[in-house]
Chains A and B, each alone.
Chain A
Amino acid sequence: MKLWLMVLLGLLASTAAGIDINDDFDDPALQERYRAIINETRCLVCQNQTIADSNAGLAVDLRREIRAMLESGASDQQIVDFLVGRYGDFVLYRPPLKRTTWLLWASPVVFLLIGLAVVGVTLMRRSKQPIELDGDEWAPLSFSPSPSTFSTWRLYCCRFGAARD
């Protein structure tokens, strides 16, 4: 069963890599730049695929266009400008940092900071609570639940976790 799955996945992988592989550039450096660009360009027809992955008509056309531009000596930046000038920043998998995209770029950091703040506040509150042992079941934890809501919540979580184990 596992073997069949592996064979199946192997076959799928070869078809995915098979798009547009038959006409390589003569120059390996050009081929590498081509590969890099088409793997960073979004296909607007099937929006979660790159134009390297997609066989939609538009993706084929754009690959052909990028290929022609590379062959005629265009720089990577010229090709990116060509694409963005027609389809907007959305065509890039890495949109540039600007007024309309800063929130997109900042959101991972913002969420991380929110998470750290929650952890910090929780730890500070907890360190202010008196530590006292009560009952055997909490001995390994070396602190006890206080009547605060958070601790009650934690108590249920710990019990649930222990029961599952």
Chain B
Amino acid sequence: MWRYLIPVLLFAGLVAFFARGLQLDPSYVPSPLIGKPIPEFTLPTLADPNVSLSDRDLRGELSLLNVWATWCVGCRQEHGYLVELAAQSGLPIYGLNWKDDTDAARRWLQQLGDPYRVTAVDADGRIAIDFGVYGAPETFLVDADGTILFKHLSPLTAEVWQREFLPRIAQAAGQ
């Protein structure tokens, strides 16, 4: 009798395996940069190309680094929340404008509001490679020492903020 159960059990195992697989996001690749210092960079800012932003400017307080571009649909989607978050949380948000048209980027911030303390321009995507960026929007949580605590792929929402960022911010503040 039990041998009739073998295919049923195998099938159940397969179903469980695939059911789990369907819930995973295949485009999610864990970053090897978590727990490491932010890569060194010096880039011109969007507001004034003669002024530069460097990795040293991000040290000293907990901050967010948001990789965005005007061609990125997900960035448009999260932008409203970023503006809200910048106003509410008081946390500095730095922008990394990735492979974008700078005029379009300036217009975007004028029209939709500017949540960023400073936006750096990575026109050729060289610095984004150092950050392991592969799809905007990406949001890095950087602690006061300049260590990357967490990276979120895909648009930031209030729910993601509550679930992923707040506990890590609380933990960083507690140390």
Contact = CB atoms under 8 A, between A and B. Distances in A.
B135 A44 contact: yes
Contacts of A90: 29
Of the listed residues A47, A86, A88, A90, the one surrounded by the most CB atoms of chain B closer than 10 A to its CB is A86
Contact of B134 (A58, A84, A85, A149): A58
Given A45-B135, A61-B124, A88 B31 contact: yes
A93 interface: no
Interface string A98-119: 0000000000000000000000
Nearest to B133: A58
B32 A61 contact: no
A49 B35 CA distance: 29
A13 to B, nearest CB: 28
Contacts of A88: 29-32, 132
Nearest to B3: A149
Contacts of A47: 26-27
A62 B26 CA distance: 21
A57 interface: yes
A57 B125 contact: yes
Given A47-B27, A61-B129, A65-B126, A87 B134 contact: yes
Q: What bracket does the count of chain A residues touching chain B fall in?
A: 10 to 19
Nearest to A68: B126
Contacts of B132: 86-88
A122 B18 CA distance: 29
A29 B27 CA distance: 35
A157 B154 CA distance: 51
A62 B135 CA distance: 14
Contacts of B27: 47
Contact of B129 (A45, A65, A84, A149): A65
B126 A61 contact: yes
A90 B26 CA distance: 11
Contacts of A149: 3-4
Of the listed residues B31, B124, B126, B132, the one surrounded by the most CB atoms of chain A closer than 10 A to its CB is B132
Nearest to A89: B32
Interface in B89-145: 99, 124-126, 128-135
Please give me the 5 A-B residue pairs with the lowest Cβ-Cβ distance, nearest first.
Answer: A44-B134, A86-B132, A61-B125, A88-B32, A90-B29
8 contacts: A45-B135, A47-B26, A47-B27, A57-B125, A85-B32, A86-B130, A86-B131, A88-B32
Given A61-B128, A86-B131, A88-B30, 4 more contacts: A57-B99, A65-B129, A88-B29, A90-B29
